[in-house]
Amino acid sequence: MSYQKLSRDQIAQRVAQDIPDGAYVNLGIGLPTKIASYLPNDKDIFLHSENGCWPLVLLQLQVKKILN
């Protein structure tokens, strides 16, 4: 059986799909931080980050630009 290697973005997308509504997620350093970019809009997911939330602030600003 052969498997296709997934990119880092594909892995983050797959993980984000598996997070249940109402989950609390601790984003670690590196690949886990990418997950925040792929979270579905129809779920309430609470994020915690020990290494800072600056990328999340930038993501929030991008969402506001889209909504405005």
Write the CA distances from 60 to 7, 21, 37, 54, 56, integer angstroms: 24, 19, 10, 10, 6
Torsion, Cα of 54, 58, 64, 67 (10° steps): -130
Residues labelled catalytic: 50
